[in-house]
Amino acid sequence: MTTPSTRDVSCQELVELLTDYLEGALTSDEVASVEHHLALCSGCAAYLDQLRMMIEALGSVTVKTLSDDSLDELIEVFRGLVR
Amino acid sequence: MTEDEGLVDRLRAGDEAAFAAVVRDWSPAMLRVAHAHVRSHATAEEVVQEAWLGVLRGLRLFEGRASLRTWVFRILVNTARRRGRGDAVVMAELAGPTVDPDRFRGADDRYPGGWREDSAPAWWEPEARVLSAELWAVLTQALTELPERQRAVVELRDVHGFPAPEVCDLLDLTPQNQRVLLHRGRARLRSILEVAAP
């Protein structure tokens, strides 16, 4: 009899583990379970693929910075300080 | 000379363009951190502005033991905490499944918790893999609609590239809660893209 080191995880459980998986926060047994599942399950593999694409896309999203007024005020102060 | 020393020297020498550039580059992440500590957008702007004033006042004394960015964000967090509401993480931002339970098979199924046949995620078409302008707009908008702390964590980690320990520190989160917020935010954004993707 073999003692499997991996526990079967359902799709529903797996999708909640993927950030911990990507963050390296799972134990080696959990990693093995996740990877075993991903190798066999197209739906979950597609889910992870979408997550990765989305994370990559976020890297080039532009988000709001300070208002122009605040920025101008700061530069004004900066000018005063170095004079 | 490191990049940091070069920047500090330019700021000390009164290089206005260098100052404007660094304020533009770092303020979006600073706003996000400030938002996690205070209630209104106006107050968050004030906190960021006040932090930059503190940076300017202290620049002479900056010794370069930490990176300039770390030092600037340290000043920001101290400013934000003074003005902050000090709420604990809102539990509602941490609880519940991130994928609609109806997409999975029930407990009495042969494969409980497996995707239902008609609701498993589909592989995106090759042309959808490079996000279209339309999907970009969807993603950018969805980001602004995330609950405050999820948005803070996702923006700091995935948009600005801050390492996890720094995010925990800036937002007063345990490593566990930081991961939960990141997960929930990312899962929400993915689900919105999934609906919008061709």
Q: What is the mean pLDDT of residues A23-45?
A: 95
**pLDDT for A6 beyond 60:** no
Dist. CA B127–CA B103, nearest whole Å:
26
- What's the gap in Å between the CA of B183 and the closest CA on chain A? 5
> B56 CB near a chain A CB, below 8 Å?
yes
Domains defined for chain B, CATH in brackets: 3-83 (1.10.1740.10), 91-196 (1.10.10.10)
Write the DSSP assignment of B116-170 as a string of letters: PTTTSPPPPPHHHHS--HHHHHHHHHHHHTS-HHHHHHHIIIIIS---HHHHHHH
Q: Which positions in chain B touch A52 (Cβ < 8 Å)?
A: none
- What's the gap in Å between the CA of A20 and the closest CA on chain B? 7
The tens digit of pLDDT for each residue in B11-51 reads 999 999 999 999 999 999 999 999 888 878 888 999 999 99
Mean pLDDT of chain B: 88
The tens digit of pLDDT for each residue in A54-69 reads 999 999 888 888 888 8
pTM, two decimals, is 0.84
- ipTM field: 0.87
The architecture CATH gives domain A11-82 = Orthogonal Bundle (1.10)
- Map out the domains of chain A as residue ranges: 11-82
Dist. CA B51–CA B29, nearest whole Å:
13
Amino acid, single-letter form, for residue B7 = L
Closest Cβ–Cβ partner in A23, A47, A74 for B164: A23
